[in-house]
C-alpha cells in the first residue's frame, strides 16, 4: 500500500511541476528527456524529449500538435476521446476493412481529418463522429 501511495504522490508532484511550468509558458513546452517515454494523446505514438509537446491539452507528438495549431483537428479531440474514431477502429467497430475505408474516404462517403507528417504524407486519419456521412 505504501508503494502505491508513493507512485501516486510522485505522479501528483510531476503534474504540479508541469502546471507551474505551464504558467510560465502558456503556449506549451517540450518535456525533458529524463521524463521518459510518453504516448501521444491523439495518435498514440511513443515519443520522448524534444518529440513531445505539453500544453493544457496534454502530451502530443509534433505532427498532432501542428494539426491542432492549423485547426485541421479540433481541440475537442484532446478533451473527449469518445468524440472521434481512429482509422484503425473502422475494422473493430464497423467491420470495415482498411482498404475499403480508404476507398470510402476517396469517394467522400467518409470524412476524415488527415494529420500529415513532415513530408506531407498522411500520418493519421481522424474520423469525427459529428462528421460521419
pLDDT, tens only, 29-85 = 999 888 889 999 999 999 998 899 999 999 999 999 999 999 999 999 999 999 999
**pLDDT beyond 60 at 103:** yes
Q: What average pLDDT does this structure show over 111-115?
A: 95
Rg of the Cα trace of the chain?
17
Considering only CA atoms, which of 76, 47, 49, 79 is closest in space to residue 63?
Answer: 47
Contact 109, 99 (CB under 8 A): no
pLDDT, tens only, 43-57 = 999 999 889 999 999
Whole-structure pTM value: 0.84
Contact 117, 64 (CB under 8 A): no
Burial-class residue 49 by CB neighbours within 10 Å (0-12, 13-18, 19+). middle
| DSSP3 helix / strand / coil % (the chain, rounded to 5) | 45, 20, 30
Contact 67, 61 (CB under 8 A): no
Amino acid at each position: 500500500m505504501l508503494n502505491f501511495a508513493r507512485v501516486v504522490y510522485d505522479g501528483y508532484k510531476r503534474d504540479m511541476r508541469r502546471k507551474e511550468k505551464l504558467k510560465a509558458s502558456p503556449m506549451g513546452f517540450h518535456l525533458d528527456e529524463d521524463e521518459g517515454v510518453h504516448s501521444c494523446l491523439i495518435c498514440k505514438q511513443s515519443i520522448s524529449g524534444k518529440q513531445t509537446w505539453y500544453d493544457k491539452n496534454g502530451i502530443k507528438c509534433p505532427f498532432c500538435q501542428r494539426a491542432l495549431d492549423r485547426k485541421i483537428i479540433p481541440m475537442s479531440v484532446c478533451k473527449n476521446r469518445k468524440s472521434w474514431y481512429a482509422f484503425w477502429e473502422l475494422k473493430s467497430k464497423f467491420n470495415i476493412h482498411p482498404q475499403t475505408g480508404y476507398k470510402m474516404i476517396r469517394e467522400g462517403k467518409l470524412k476524415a481529418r488527415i494529420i500529415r507528417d513532415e513530408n506531407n504524407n498522411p500520418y493519421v486519419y481522424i474520423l469525427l463522429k459529428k462528421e460521419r456521412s
